Amino acid sequence: MQIKILGCSGGIGGELRTTSMLVDNDILIDAGTGVGDLSMDELLAIEHIFITHSHLDHIVFIPFLLDTVMGLRAEPVTVHASAETIRILRTHIFNWKIWPDFNTIPDATQPFLQYDEVKLGETRTIKGRKITSLPANHVVPAVGYQVDSGAASLVFTGDTTSCDALWQAVNKISNLKYLIIETAYSNSECELAKLSKHLCPSLLAAELGKLTLDNVAVYITHLKPGEGESIMQEIAENHLTLITQALNKHQVFDL
């Protein structure tokens, strides 16, 4: 199994792309602006999209993807998400006001967009690859995901602040190899991080102190544009550079 990072920034500009990961060639985890860099053939291959939460930087390219490929393939695309996130997508995005409701196109009995409600802790197995919903703590209902090839696992926290339930689940993953965790703000904006339920380096240090597993490579994602250098410097000052590094667009993980 291979996971390619399409976008990992908290914003856009130049080479920056918002959150999305491509699992092999047919599964997306989140669908931020990084999806727009895929070729037509790559877009046509996508069959499943797992969404962490409903914020625009994580879902913005779902409407464009569906509109682009619908006339070129017969098989539907399945969006996997919590019940709350599906409700938000139905109400605020695919509502015929912002975008067509692809859950009723070409008709309600055979829609091009299918929803799959994934409850917390549930696993979906797709061609031998297991994707499990994990707890997260954000301003809207949110989850993280464990991606498990059988040989090794990668955990993506999605957007979250302090979350003991997340670590209780993560520490049970015996084959965890990679952890991708957000740190959106610098310590000077710690109050904003708390208000918006993100992490800053001091909060990150406390969270990583809850990780009891050894030999896990930790990658930092969702850094706000223009703040990446200062955030990573503050992470270094918390003595976390031995186990953390900044995530990069186009980075590839083999599981």
- 111-124 residue pLDDT tens: 999 999 999 999 99
Q: What is the mean pLDDT of residues 83-104?
A: 98
pLDDT at 113: 98
Using 50, 70 and 90 to split pLDDT, how confident is the model at 250?
A: confident
**Strand-pair partners of 31:** 20
Domain assignment of residue 231, given as a range: 2-254
Q: Place 204 in a pLDDT band, splitting at 50, 70 and 90.
A: very high
Q: Is the pLDDT of residue 177 over 70?
A: yes
What distance in Å separates the CA atoms of residue 156 and residue 4, rounded to the nearest whole number?
13
Q: Nearest 5°: phi and psi at 121?
A: 90, -10
Q: Residue 71 sits in a domain of what CATH number? A: 3.60.15.10
The confidence band for 240, taking pLDDT boundaries of 50, 70 and 90, is low
8 Å CB contact between 65 and 40: no
Tell which wins on pLDDT, 242 or 145. 145
pLDDT for 56-76, tens place per residue? Answer: 999 999 999 999 999 999 899
With CA atoms as reference, report the closest residue to 136 among 70, 209, 197. 197
pLDDT higher for 239 or 102? 102
Q: Position 79: which residue type? A: V
What the block records as the tokens of 88 is 């938000």
- Tell me the two tokens of residue 116: 């799959």
Q: How many domains does the chain have?
A: 1
Both tokens assigned to 147 = 């991606």
Classified as helix, coil or strand, 77 is: strand
pLDDT value of residue 217: 93
Torsion of CA 199, 150, 123, 41, to 10 degrees: 80
The sign of the torsion formed by the CA atoms of 191, 194, 198, 203 equals positive
- Count helices and strands in the chain by DSSP H and E runs: 8, 14
Do 222 and 204 form a contact (C-beta atoms < 8 A)? no
In this structure, the strands spanning 143-148 and 77-81 are unpaired
pLDDT of 242 higher than 90? no
Alpha-carbon dihedral angle through residues 246, 198, 174, 3, given to the nearest 10 degrees: -50
